[in-house]
Structure 1
Amino acid sequence: MNKLILVVLDGLNYETGKSRMGFMNHLVEMKKAQFYKVVSALPSMSRPLYETILTGTNPIEHGITNNNINRRSKEESIFSIAKKAGLKTGAAAYHWVSELYNKSPFDYIEDRIQNDPTKNIQNGMFYFDDAYPDSHLFLDAEYIRKTYDPSFLLIHPMNIDLAGHLYSSDSKEYRKKAIEVDTVLANHIPIWMREGYHIIVTADHGMNKDYTHGGIEDDERHVPMWTIGEQFIDADCSEVNQLIIAPTICRILGVAPSEKMLKEKFIGLK
């Protein structure tokens, strides 16, 4: 049975991923990974795009059209589909992910650590401080991975996005944070590869020079995506629709995508 780890690097735009993620691009050079440009849905904001990535539906359809809409998802997600198929799910992620798929609103005392087989995210560790260190977040994820062995694990760090909001995408702080996350990935990905995981590393949205995102410009909407694993192949593809991520993950996990997910097969999948 295939297992997959999805890493969503919040706020990483395509050009910074391409130029600063040395380890990830080393894997591409060594033919161990594939690299694509993903075009995000609109608006290029966090909560709508978490929902888009994890349900394969557009904001106008799923209804999470801005960051201020705080409610449970009404769509079938990778988490709910995997759970119904008897697979284990896990997440180390920002608390908005818990609000979408487990419980809304988030209780800062009760909901930080969640272990409940009846939930869509059965084993979760959720943070609520944007400055929560990415290095710690990946260790939270490793604890979940090694302790509960989920078939689908979401890892969602926030520090790149925070640096962009504080200093802009055209700053040494933003670029440095991307390198730091790349270094963290260099510690974990070789382990996951040896243990046979399929891996997708991408972003929800990018970041612009005005310290923000939400619009239609390339630096806000274009994000990187790396794919790793035996089911992925090199494909000649200039741009990838963000909606293809959810059904691709379902297919790798061996579960049927939802009726609302794209029916077309990702060109980079066997």
Structure 2
Amino acid sequence: MSNNELTEKLILVVLDGCRYDTAMEQMGVMNHFVEYHQAECIKVIAEMPSNSRPLYAVLATGVPSYRNGILTNGHVQRIQEESLFDLVKQAGGITGAAAYYWQSELFNEAPYDIRRHRIQNDEHQAIQHGIFYSDDTYPDSHVFADANHIIQTYQPNFMLIHSMNIDDVGHKFTANSREYVATVNQADTILGMVLPQWLEAGYQVLVTADHGMDENGLHGGSLAAHREVPLFIFSDKFPKNSGLKQMDQIELAPLICSLLDIEAGTNMQIGTAKRKGRNG
């Protein structure tokens, strides 16, 4: 860690399958910080297709699916685009992840082999320090415990925490179920236990989702239930009372680059360029 040239630190939490309206109704800890002007909350419009693997790629690269090549959950390959992990490494920083194994496949090596890839510590990889799970029912509490081990041991400059229980329960019981609502509520409780420690350690924290969930237990399409997700921002570098209420998901990667004070990827696009039909 003595070679670490990057001083800014950021944790990105992705609550898989957490829709915006449920987060507003059930995440009392997150919204408490917003109410007391300690955090900002923005509605994010997820890219299409609103499925997990394509959106993991978008979140980490800022490049739309038609260009980055990850169009479906079946595209099991390492992405060729520069990711946030690559950019942080290039800036002299340390990267980490406690995440679903698809993240390892996208940014380190595909296909995932639980015998070799469950725990990874390799400074040559994009994700240098990773603990990856392959069971959708792996408890969110364990994911955050894995993350805290990496944070405390390696002090990464960019840390991805990616939990799966909300998505798993949503597919099984639908977004209209008590089970789905309770799992979002529980994720908020877990965040309430760890967030103060992260902030005290000097981390900026972003909490968002890849996609939402509908009343049929599905996502992938164009419904608001599929595409509207929350973004809670805990950062002194993000302007307070900015008035920004909504943004495109593809803008998140360049925003993270700005918050980390590193150069954005050459192929990163912003939402306004997408809406105006420019190539970016």
Q: What TM-score results when the alignment is normalised by the length of structure 1? A: 0.96
Residue in structure 1 matching 2:132, options 126, 136, 141: 126
Find the aligned partners of 2:71 and 2:269 in 1 and give their Cα distance: 20
Find the aligned partners of 1:218 and 1:88 in 2 and give their Cα distance: 36
SS in 2 for 1:156: strand
In structure 1, the partner of 2:13 is 7
SS in 2 for 1:121: coil
SS in 2 for 1:258: coil
SS in 2 for 1:12: coil
Find the aligned partners of 1:227 and 1:192 in 2 and give their Cα distance: 13
In structure 2, the partner of 1:175 is 181
In structure 2, the partner of 1:258 is 265
* 8 Å contact kept, 1:40–1:242: yes
* 8 Å contact kept, 1:90–1:121: yes
In structure 1, the partner of 2:205 is 199
* Range that drifts further, 4-13 or 80-89: 80-89
In structure 2, the partner of 1:155 is 161
Tell me how large the CA RMSD over aligned residues is: 1.1
* 8 Å contact kept, 1:93–1:155: yes
In structure 2, the partner of 1:74 is 80
Query: 5+ unaligned residues in a row in structure 1: which ranges?
Result: 266-270
Deviation by residue 1:196-250 (Cα, 9 ceiling, x = unmatched): 2111000000000011100100010000000001101222123211011111111
Find the aligned partners of 1:263 and 1:184 in 2 and give their Cα distance: 32
Find the aligned partners of 2:111 and 2:24 in 1 and give their Cα distance: 36
SS in 2 for 1:109: helix
SS in 2 for 1:124: strand
Q: Is 1:240 aligned to residue 247 of structure 2?
A: yes
Query: 5+ unaligned residues in a row in structure 2: which ranges?
Result: 1-6, 273-280
SS in 1 for 2:131: strand
Map of 1:30-69 to 2, 5 A cutoff?
30-69=36-75
Q: What TM-score results when the alignment is normalised by the length of structure 2? A: 0.93
In structure 2, the partner of 1:214 is 220
SS in 2 for 1:135: helix
Q: Is 1:165 aligned to residue 171 of structure 2?
A: yes
* 8 Å contact kept, 1:135–1:184: yes
Find the aligned partners of 1:177 and 1:84 in 2 and give their Cα distance: 37
| 1:132 to 1:264, Cα distance in 2 relative to 1, 3 A | closer
The size of the alignment, in residue pairs, is 265
* 8 Å contact kept, 1:196–1:229: no
In structure 2, the partner of 1:83 is 89
- Alignment identity in percent? 45
Find the aligned partners of 1:264 and 1:167 in 2 and give their Cα distance: 33
State the 1:263 CA deviation.
Answer: 6.1
